[in-house]
Amino acid sequence: MFSPLIKELIESLRCLPGVGPKSAQKMALYLLEREHKGADRLAGALREALDKVGRCSGCRTLTEETECSICADPERDATRLCIVETPADVLAIESAGTFDGRYFVLLGHLSPIDGIGPEELGLDHLDNVVLHNQVEEAIIATNSTVEGEATCHYIAEQLKSKNINVSRIAHGVPMGGELEYVDGNTLALALEGRKTL
Amino acid sequence: MFSPLIKELIESLRCLPGVGPKSAQKMALYLLEREHKGADRLAGALREALDKVGRCSGCRTLTEETECSICADPERDATRLCIVETPADVLAIESAGTFDGRYFVLLGHLSPIDGIGPEELGLDHLDNVVLHNQVEEAIIATNSTVEGEATCHYIAEQLKSKNINVSRIAHGVPMGGELEYVDGNTLALALEGRKTL
């Protein structure tokens, strides 16, 4: 039905997360019918980001600069390091506004099936960072999934052997969460992690 | 938080329909973290479609060829013309599989507020098509919205003055629709358009 170039555009829009064939078709037609300017900007931004965005030399987050804004900030406490999976996790923790240390972004988690081992996560670079910044405390904030836990365990072992204080962020009932609606696994974690009052 | 190029990518992804700030951020990070190949393909497809896709010389639908596949098909009955708003509408009617005429795609509807008048919808070109193909019947299948109805009315007047059989697709209760769940406006249309048995 559609001409080859339009079909190719629809197909290639499907690489976006959460975009199925119907949405991709809608997006492609919308861009071509009514949003030439936005589409042009998108094509340019995509090309430029692909060409220039690399890793921060400090925390390995995505940035086109040598150092990201957090690593470049002399006010941040370099001896405290929070280890997260993605740049979005950095944003989430920053929004809490209580952590003044630096980050280390794995950009993924250990997943042997996908060929992601310690090297892909830059764990050798983590060793350098720890040594160079004389890190005293490492807080591991990988996701609470099977892979995230495995990654946490691996990194904890690696860092503990260097005499660093390693901790894991707490898991339990979220603020404002009603016990009735919290799932069993979370409750099990909440019970296990109980604190003496 | 994010570097300028990443911010720009997030911003420009927001031109996609249905994509808010959160999804745009998710998409941008996903592309940069894990989908370089897909992003590269998307940037290329977007650029090429923007550069080459234009209008079909017959029905004005989006295509990079001079004539779209339907207009180029000698089997289709050129004397019957179905007038729709968008290329997606052509696809929808084609999927019904019962119409063997040609289409005319307005790519929009009359909307003086947005500066869309008869000229922008190519209604002068419609006159040429009607004359050139000796169209005998025109079926107007614009959307059943205020603007769609206004557009239908305008086109109907224009075509009727040329002694063409002009009709509007039927509106009523959809197949399998339970009366209980059909909205009042649709039921009013269904009653108004009742057929003698």
pLDDT of B1 above 80: no
Instruction: Look at residue B152 and tell me if it is in a domain.
Output: yes
Adjacent-strand bridge partners of A84: A105
What are the CA-CA distances from residue B141 to residues A33, A143, B164 (Å)?
18, 51, 16
Instruction: Look at residue B8 and tell me if it is in a domain.
Output: no
Helices within A14-171 (DSSP H only): 21-34, 36-52, 87-96, 123-132, 146-160
Instruction: Look at residue B87 and tell me if it is in a domain.
Output: yes
Q: Give the per-residue pLDDT at B62.
A: 94
Structural domain that includes position A83: 62-168
For residue B31, the chain A residues in CB contact (below 8 A) are: 15-16, 46, 49
- Residue B187's pLDDT band, with cuts at 50, 70 and 90, is confident
Our CA-based measurement puts residue B123 at a distance from the nearest CA of chain A, in whole angstroms, of 17
Host H or E run for residue A13: helix A4-13
Our CA-based measurement puts residue A124 at a distance from the nearest CA of chain B, in whole angstroms, of 19
Adjacent-strand bridge partners of B55: B62
Q: Give the per-residue pLDDT at B41.
A: 95
Partner residue facing A42 (CB), from B46, B48, B65: B46
- Residue B189's pLDDT band, with cuts at 50, 70 and 90, is confident
Question: How many independent structural domains does chain B possess?
Answer: 1
For residue A107, the chain B residues in CB contact (below 8 A) are: 33
**How large is the C-alpha radius of gyration of chain B?**
21
Q: Give the per-residue pLDDT at A125.
A: 93
- Residue B70's pLDDT band, with cuts at 50, 70 and 90, is very high
- Residue B176's pLDDT band, with cuts at 50, 70 and 90, is confident
Q: Give the per-residue pLDDT at A189.
A: 84
Instruction: Look at residue B185 and tell me if it is in a domain.
Output: no
Our CA-based measurement puts residue B25 at a distance from the nearest CA of chain A, in whole angstroms, of 8
Give the ipTM. Answer: 0.83
Contact state of B94 with A1 under an 8 Å Cβ cutoff? yes
Q: Give the per-residue pLDDT at B193.
A: 83
Cα A117–Cα A50–Cα A144 angle in degrees, nearest 5: 40
Contact state of B30 with A17 under an 8 Å Cβ cutoff? yes
Instruction: Look at residue A96 and tell me if it is in a domain.
Output: yes
Tens digits of per-residue pLDDT, B137-165?
999 999 988 999 999 999 999 999 988 99
Contacts of B40 (CB under 8 A, 6+ apart): A50
Average pLDDT over chain B, rounded to an integer? 91
- CA quadruple B145, B155, B160, B63: dihedral sign: negative
List of chain A residues with pLDDT < 70: none
Phi/psi at B187 (nearest 5 deg)? Answer: -65, -40
Contacts of A62 (CB under 8 A, 6+ apart): A53, A54, A55, A56, A87, A105, A107, B2, B3, B6, B29, B32, B33
What's B113's domain CATH number?
Answer: 3.40.1360.10
Contact state of B53 with A88 under an 8 Å Cβ cutoff? no
Instruction: Look at residue A154 and tell me if it is in a domain.
Output: yes
